[in-house]
Copies of this chain bind each other. A is one copy, B any other.
Amino acid sequence: MDCNIVIVGGGPAGVITALTAKSVYPEKSVCIIKEIADGVIPCSIPYMIYTLADPAQSILGNKPLEDAGVKIIVDKAESLDTAASVLTLASSRTIDYERLVIATGSSPVVPPIPGVELPGVFSITKSLSAISLLREKARAAKRVVILGGGFIGAEFADELTRNPDAEVHIVEILPRLLSQDFDDEFCDAATAELAGTGVQVHTGRRAISIGGEDKVKRVELDDGTSLQADIVIIGVGGRPNAELAAKAGLTVTEKGSIWVDSYMRTTVKSVFAVGDCALKRDFFTRKEAPVWLASTATSEARIAGTNLYGIRVLRQIQGTVSAFSTKIGGLCLASAGMTRRMCEEEGFRIVTGEAMAPDRHPGFLPGPSPMKVKLIFANRSGALLGGQVSGGPSVGELINVISIGIQMQLNVRQLDMMQIATHPLLTSAPTVHPLINAAHNALAKLRLQK
């Protein structure tokens, strides 16, 4: 068959590329190759265990694609001939394309621990059938061990405490949970929330083996601890799915991502790559950055989908800002850009500003949470490098003020005088809003330096 624009991959990156392409180039035919027929909203997976009444509520539906006139093919892309512009599927079907977009995502890394292949050990696969099985086993389990204390591990641990009879352990090699995205004080606050809901946190510990006969029974840690386990959930990271691209001769980076330029074009002119499988360059250093978030992927998808037949819209914002939010226990946390730890590793000279206030004014109004903001600025230019926030649910959008501020190169002096909206029932007071006061606090430190 023939199709003008072929997208390989049915996750958020693939779907948004297809929808964008169809809206920018309505005269072109667009098809999407989905390897997983029952794909789910990736970030919602932890909440499919208890919070969602029915895991099928999380399915990534085909309706938006069908409504837009995108053809959906459930099959696996087997090989790609970029010279002939032909994609071959596992069913041996071939498709001639004008433009091809690879959106094959990432796969979970399975650490090479003895026993990791035992039944009852789960990696996170983004299909309804896989998660439904995990749901069944997780709900029945009395003892759960989670390997990996990033946000997947922390969110699963939090969700599993919905079962008061379950004993939940989380094992993290680094000294703190969530330390890829947060500085110590925010990691510690999240850890305290988890501990408060009964999660047993083992940081600075490595799992050295998983024991059991015909199914998992226990996890042995490097300090000699043996944790009983009915199931083990692995959330230790991922790797880009770049096989199709590599086999086709496209350039793949040392870290395994498909090389792309600013417009998501691979080394072959008619082939694009977006999402977890595609190279991301850090906003501040332009180093390769493994930021595998659906929100990052969809932003790339809009860039690719718009520019498939020539650069129509310039990418004025270069580089990837890791921006994400989560909720652990009763605490919402969010981060965008660089943390202090990253700045130290990369040699950025910084000044930080911190502020805290209730997210209502006065704080006696219903539903207040203390909202804490930490901002990181470049020492000389005052450029906003990053921010971390904790508090109530409004941190989910407050972090987007910071994310967009970073992308627009906001500086500390501008932010200090920025005009914001406030309301007694919805935000902190204008006199003490921690976003503004954190900038003010950083400015005060800068003045003392001089």
Q: Which residues of A contact B (CB under 8 A)?
A: 12, 15-16, 20, 23-24, 41, 43-44, 47, 51-54, 57-58, 293-299, 302-303, 306, 313-317, 320-321, 323-327, 332, 334-336, 361-362, 364-366, 393-401, 403-405, 407-408, 410, 413-414, 416-427, 429-431, 433, 435-436, 440, 444, 447
Q: Kindly list chain B residues whose C-beta atoms are within 8 Å of the C-beta of A417.
A: 299, 302-303, 313, 315, 317
Q: Kindly list chain B residues whose C-beta atoms are within 8 Å of the C-beta of A20.
A: 440
Q: How far apart sit A306 and B337, CA to CA, in the bound complex (Å)?
A: 28
Instruction: Give chain B nearest CB distance to A317 CB in angstroms.
Output: 6
**Which of A51, A365, A401, A424 has its CB near the most chain B CB atoms (within 10 A)?**
A424
Instruction: Give chain B nearest CB distance to A300 CB in angstroms.
Output: 9
CB distance A396 to B423 under 8 Å?
yes
| Partner of A430 from B12, B303, B326, B420 at Cβ < 8 Å | B12
Write the chain B residue with the least CB distance to A319.
B419
Q: How far apart sit A218 and B68, CA to CA, in the bound complex (Å)?
A: 58
Instruction: Give chain B nearest CB distance to A158 CB in angstroms.
Output: 10
Q: How far apart sit A336 and B397, CA to CA, in the bound complex (Å)?
A: 15
Q: Kindly list chain B residues whose C-beta atoms are within 8 Å of the C-beta of A365.
A: 44, 47, 51-52
Q: How far apart sit A434 and B417, CA to CA, in the bound complex (Å)?
A: 27
CB distance A52 to B362 under 8 Å?
yes
CB distance A422 to B325 under 8 Å?
yes
Write the chain B residue with the least CB distance to A393.
B426
The 3 closest A-B pairs by CB, nearest first: A396-B426, A323-B421, A295-B430
| Partner of A294 from B43, B52, B302, B430 at Cβ < 8 Å | B430
CB distance A41 to B397 under 8 Å?
no
Q: Kindly list chain B residues whose C-beta atoms are within 8 Å of the C-beta of A435.
A: 400
Q: Kindly list chain B residues whose C-beta atoms are within 8 Å of the C-beta of A306.
A: 416
CB distance B52 to A420 under 8 Å?
no
CB distance A399 to B421 under 8 Å?
yes
Per assembly, the copies of the chain total 2
Q: How far apart sit A102 and B41, CA to CA, in the bound complex (Å)?
A: 55
Q: How far apart sit A313 and B382, CA to CA, in the bound complex (Å)?
A: 12
Q: Kindly list chain B residues whose C-beta atoms are within 8 Å of the C-beta of A393.
A: 393-394, 425-426
Asked if A316 meets B424 with Cβ closer than 8 Å, knowing A52-B362, A404-B405, A419-B299, the reply is no
Asked if A299 meets B52 with Cβ closer than 8 Å, knowing A44-B361, A394-B397, the reply is no
Asked if A430 meets B52 with Cβ closer than 8 Å, knowing A43-B424, A400-B420, A408-B410, the reply is no
CB distance A425 to B327 under 8 Å?
yes
CB distance A403 to B431 under 8 Å?
no
6 contacts between A and B (CB under 8 A): A41-B429, A306-B416, A317-B414, A395-B426, A396-B426, A397-B426
Write the chain B residue with the least CB distance to A302.
B417
| Partner of A362 from B41, B298, B299 at Cβ < 8 Å | B41
Q: Kindly list chain B residues whose C-beta atoms are within 8 Å of the C-beta of A297.
A: 430
Q: Kindly list chain B residues whose C-beta atoms are within 8 Å of the C-beta of A299.
A: 417-420
Asked if A400 meets B403 with Cβ closer than 8 Å, knowing A336-B421, A362-B52, A423-B326, the reply is no
Write the chain B residue with the least CB distance to A430.
B295
| Contacts beyond the supplied A294-B430, A396-B426, A403-B420: 5 A-B pairs with Cβ under 8 Å | A299-B420, A314-B413, A325-B426, A395-B426, A404-B404
Instruction: Give chain B nearest CB distance to A345 CB in angstroms.
Output: 22
Q: How far apart sit A174 and B335, CA to CA, in the bound complex (Å)?
A: 44
| Partner of A404 from B52, B314, B418, B430 at Cβ < 8 Å | B418
Q: Kindly list chain B residues whose C-beta atoms are within 8 Å of the C-beta of A324.
A: 421-423
Instruction: Give chain B nearest CB distance to A423 CB in angstroms.
Output: 4
Q: How far apart sit A410 and B404, CA to CA, in the bound complex (Å)?
A: 9
Q: How far apart sit A444 and B295, CA to CA, in the bound complex (Å)?
A: 21
Q: How far apart sit A431 and B18, CA to CA, in the bound complex (Å)?
A: 11
